Amino acid sequence: MVVLDSSFLVAYHNSRDAHHTAAATVMERIVTGELGSALLPEYVFLELVTVLLARRGLESASTAAATLLQAREVEFVPCSDFFLETFETFRTQRDGGLSFADAAIVTVARRRDARFVATFDRDFRSVRGLEIVPG
């Protein structure tokens, strides 16, 4: 199982992003099932749509949002059920490098036994038990 991060999704949905090719390669691994099912935490979805709106406009943000919500390979994960657990992950981190949305990714990964995080955010390298793709 792989949890999706906004840095990965922004790169995938923006062909001008420096990481777009690497993101497309990882997305192919997700679609083929090589990484297992994909989990999209609600907070990551919010980050993605906000960043794409600011960088690429409403049409790009709306298209990416609709694509993700309709994708069979992607499971949308509402965060309200484990908000306090996410806050605890955020509060007790060692170096302060994880945002609240990142803490939600870690929480989802732990709750769902996900092995991978699709991200270009190096702060996840300090989280035990998670493998970063692309590596």
pLDDT at 127: 92
Would you place residue 96 in the very low, low, confident or very high pLDDT band (cuts 50, 70, 90)? confident
Pick from 81, 71, 95: nearest CA to 43: 81
- CA dihedral 87→109→31→7, nearest 10 degrees, is 40
CA distance 49 to 57: 10
Would you place residue 92 in the very low, low, confident or very high pLDDT band (cuts 50, 70, 90)? very high
Residue 126: pLDDT over 90: no
What does the domain layout of the chain look like in residue ranges? 2-133
pLDDT at 116: 97
* CATH class of the region 2-133: alpha beta
- Paired strand residues for 77: 41
Per DSSP, the three-state class of 15 is: coil
pLDDT at 95: 82
pLDDT at 114: 97
The mean pLDDT of the chain is: 95
Mean pLDDT of 12-30: 96
pLDDT at 135: 76
Residue 94: pLDDT over 90: no
Percentage of residues in the chain with pLDDT exceeding 90? Answer: 93
pLDDT at 29: 96
